[in-house]
Chain A
Amino acid sequence: MKNRARLVTGIITLLAVCAMWYLTTQATHLISTGRFPSPADVYTAARQISHPPGYANATIWQHIVQSLELVVLGFLVAAATGVPLGIAMGLSPRFEAFVNPVFLMIRPVPPLAWIPLAVVWFGLSAAAQIFVVWFAAFVPALINAYTGVRTVDRTLIEAARIHGASRRRLLTDVIVPGALPFIFTGLRLSLQASWTTLIAAQLVGSIAGLGHVLIVASIDIYPGMIFYGMLWVAILGAAMTFVLAQTERLAMPWHQ
Chain B
Amino acid sequence: MSVRRRDLIALSFAGTAVFFGVWWLVASNKHVNALILPDPVKVIATFVYLTSHTFANYTIQQHLGSSLLRFTYGFVLAAVIGVPLGLAMGWLRWLDYIVSPLFEAVRFVAPIAWVPFAVLWFGTGIGGPVLIIFAGAFPPCLVNAYRGARHVDRNLIEAAQTLGASDRTIIFQVLLPAALPSIVAGLRISAGLGWQSLIGAELIVVSAGIGYLMVQGQSNLDTAIVMSGMIAIGLVGVAIDVALRQLERLVGGTRGMA
Contacts and interface: CB of A to CB of B under 8 A. Distances in A.
B121 A195 contact: no
Contact of B204 (A203, A221, A223, A233): A203
Interface in B186-231: 195-197, 199-200, 203-204, 211, 214-215, 217-218, 221, 223, 226-227, 229-231
A9 B119 contact: no
Interface in A63-110: 93-94, 97-102, 108-110
A244 interface: no
B98 A108 contact: no
A251 interface: no
Contacts of B235: 108
Q: Classify the interface of chain A: helix, strand, loop or mixed.
A: helix
Contacts of B13: 101
B37 to A, nearest CB: 8
B16 A93 contact: no
A120 interface: yes
A10 B97 contact: yes
A141 interface: no
Interface residues of A, number: 53
Q: Classify the interface of chain B: helix, strand, loop or mixed.
A: helix
Nearest to B203: A204
A120 B221 contact: yes
B243 interface: no
Nearest to B231: A109
The 4 tightest CB contacts between A and B, nearest first, are A218-B116, A10-B101, A9-B97, A116-B218
Interface of A: 5-6, 9-11, 13-14, 17, 35-36, 93-94, 97-102, 108-117, 119-121, 195-196, 199-200, 203-204, 211, 214-215, 217-218, 221, 223, 226, 229-230, 233-235, 237-238, 241
12 contacts: A14-B102, A35-B121, A94-B8, A97-B11, A100-B12, A112-B196, A120-B218, A214-B113, A217-B116, A226-B117, A234-B106, A234-B108
